[in-house]
Copies of this chain bind each other. A is one copy, B any other.
Amino acid sequence: MGNERIPVLEIFGPTVQGEGMVIGQKTMFVRTAGCDYRCAWCDSAFTWDGSASDDIRLMTAEEIVSELRSIGGRRFAHVTLSGGNPGLLKPLGGLIRLLHEQQIKVALETQGSRWQEWFIDVDELTLSPKPPSSQMATDWEVLDDMIERLRKNGSDYSLKVVVFDEADLQYALDTHQRYPDVPMYLQSGNASVTETDQEKLLEQLRSRYEWLIDQVMQSEQWKCVKVLPQLHAWVWGNKRGV
A100 lies within 8 A of chain B by Cβ: no
- Asked if residues B26 and A220 are in contact (CB atoms below 8 Å), the reply is no
- Asked if residues A202 and B213 are in contact (CB atoms below 8 Å), the reply is no
- Asked if residues A220 and B75 are in contact (CB atoms below 8 Å), the reply is yes
Residues on B with C-beta less than 8 A from A73 are 220
The complex is assembled from copies of this chain, and their number is 2
Residues on B with C-beta less than 8 A from A24 are 23, 185, 226-228
**In the bound complex, what is the Cα–Cα distance between A13 and B24 (angstroms)?**
24
Residues on B with C-beta less than 8 A from A151 are none
- Asked if residues A105 and B224 are in contact (CB atoms below 8 Å), the reply is yes
- Asked if residues B77 and A26 are in contact (CB atoms below 8 Å), the reply is no
Given A16-B213, A199-B199, A213-B15 in contact, is the A26-B227 Cβ separation under 8 Å?
yes
The chain B residue sitting closest to A205, CB to CB, is B234
Chain A, 208-236, contact with B by CB distance < 8 Å: what is the 0/1 string? 01100100111110111111110100111
Chain A, 21-65, contact with B by CB distance < 8 Å: what is the 0/1 string? 011111000000000000000000000000000000000000000
